[in-house]
Structure 1
Amino acid sequence: MLSKKYILIIFLAFFSATIFGQKDSLNVKGVKVKGDIKIEKGGVYDAVAPSKAAFYSAIFPGMGQVYNKKYWKAPIVWGAMGTSIYYYLDNNKEYKRYRTAYKLRKNNLVDEFTVDGKEVISLETLERAQDQLRENRDMSLLTTVILYVLQIVEASVNAHLLQFNTDDNLSFKPTFLNDPIYVEAPKVGLTIKYNF
């Protein structure tokens, strides 16, 4: 019973507002009328734009977003990739540090974790630290690669969607109609209108 209430609340929240189609992102120069037919002159579809955006993103991350004039996305891309690169470099540095100490300890030499002839960190701990740091380093590298590919895909998809022609006549306006005959049993319906 409780889940039905949640579903109803989510349904009402989702359908309580009127949603209109986005404004046309292509520049509409004007409208010609030939007889009863209205001909709208719009922007020309540029099939090269998505590939340019993807190319710019591949060359320098974030430039595809700048090409699409979504300037606010570029710092997000740079921050995400910079963070993953930072963690890769940090984990790699620490891995090399523990690896060197492990090799020195195996050869019965003094390492940085031996103070006054006493081992601060055991040999097993050095092994476990190497394994964990190597795993963290590899995950940081994988994250960097995934973010790099995702920002290329996002720039290309965004360039495609910028050319998607919608009209203000396309709207989604859910309404609730009460049936005066059956008041105790409410009915829910959905109407989608497209005006030409």
Structure 2
Amino acid sequence: MLCFFCAFSLVKINAQVVGKDTVLYENTPIDTAKVDFDSTMFAPEKKKKPHDPHKATMHSLMLPGWGQWYNKQYWKVPIVIGGIAIPTVAFIQNSKWFNEAAKAYKLVYGATYGPAANRATDSALIRSKTVLPKTYQDYWDALYASNPGSAGSNFLSSVQSQRNYYRRNKDYAALWFFILWGINVADATVFGHLKDFDISPNLSMTANPTYFQMARVPGVSFIFNWKYPSKTTYNSTYN
């Protein structure tokens, strides 16, 4: 009786899965001596490492463009670096010009309106042509040669305007630097979250009008359909 049951179970099988995407249909005999098993048949599928938006955010905070590189949006990296480089260069250059204008203003102010005991010293430094930046030295010499009496006031008025102009540009450059850095972080964060977002046709949503019986009010129902492509089924043949 036991032998008959074993023989019957080899002949009569209901959709027994032997390997990946392999289905044995009804009335398919199994000869285990002739079945070729592949080493990859039962190997576990490799899971894709999930994208981490937090890493994209932290990378962009540490270095502009690094978060975009992590998101594999390589074309954005030169745009981010170039955008942040512009206010950086503007800040450095305007800081240099501001310091030169402030130094020139301080020296000429001391020689013109400073304490009487220090005027002679400041005037000697200016005449030595070693303390003022070249542009301001030439400007001061031209004013002093044309009208020594009003040279100090005219020079100070002009240089004060330039000094304030460079300081304003420096402040704006610093502001734009932080704004663009923040945009860089926000961009990396948003696209880091959207990296694994499913926008394929396999995910769909429909909205249908409905009537809620309990509340006795009309409403709208949202139906989410997850559609998976059908797997290909192979009919294995054994010799």
Do these two structures clear the TM 0.5 threshold for a shared fold by scoring above it? yes
Partner of 2:100: 97
Matches within 5 A, 1:69-88: 69-88=72-91
Give the secondary-structure state (helix, strand or coil) at the position aligned to 1:69. Answer: coil
Partner of 1:5: none
Q: CA deviation at 1:89?
A: 0.5
Partner of 1:106: 109
Q: Does 1:123 align with 2:156?
A: yes
Matches within 5 A, 1:43-192: 46=50, 49-108=52-111, 109=123, 110=126, 111=132, 112=137, 113-115=139-141, 117-118=144-145, 119=151, 122-168=155-201
- Do 1:57 and 1:152's aligned partners in 2 also have CA atoms closer than 8 Å? yes
Structural RMSD (CA): 3.2
Higher relative contact order (CA 8 A, sep 6+): 1
Give the secondary-structure state (helix, strand or coil) at the position aligned to 2:73. Answer: coil
Aligned length: 138
Unaligned 5+ segments in structure 2 are: 1-20, 22-44, 112-122, 127-131, 146-150, 205-223, 228-239
Provide the rounded CA distance (Å) in 1 between the counterparts of 2:49 and 2:54: 13
- Do 1:54 and 1:152's aligned partners in 2 also have CA atoms closer than 8 Å? yes
Provide the rounded CA distance (Å) in 2 between the counterparts of 1:90 and 1:61: 21
Unaligned 5+ segments in structure 1 are: 1-30, 32-40, 172-193
Q: CA deviation at 1:153?
A: 1.1
TM-score, normalised by the number of residues in structure 1: 0.60
Matches within 5 A, 1:31-46: 46=50
Provide the rounded CA distance (Å) in 2 between the counterparts of 1:82 and 1:166: 35
Deviating above 3 A after TM superposition, structure 1's stretches of 4 or more consecutive aligned residues are: 43-46, 116-121
Q: CA deviation at 1:168?
A: 2.4
- Do 1:45 and 1:163's aligned partners in 2 also have CA atoms closer than 8 Å? no
Say which one has the larger Rg.
2
Give the letter for the 1:139 counterpart. Y
Provide the rounded CA distance (Å) in 2 between the counterparts of 1:104 and 1:56: 46
Provide the rounded CA distance (Å) in 1 between the counterparts of 2:69 and 2:63: 11
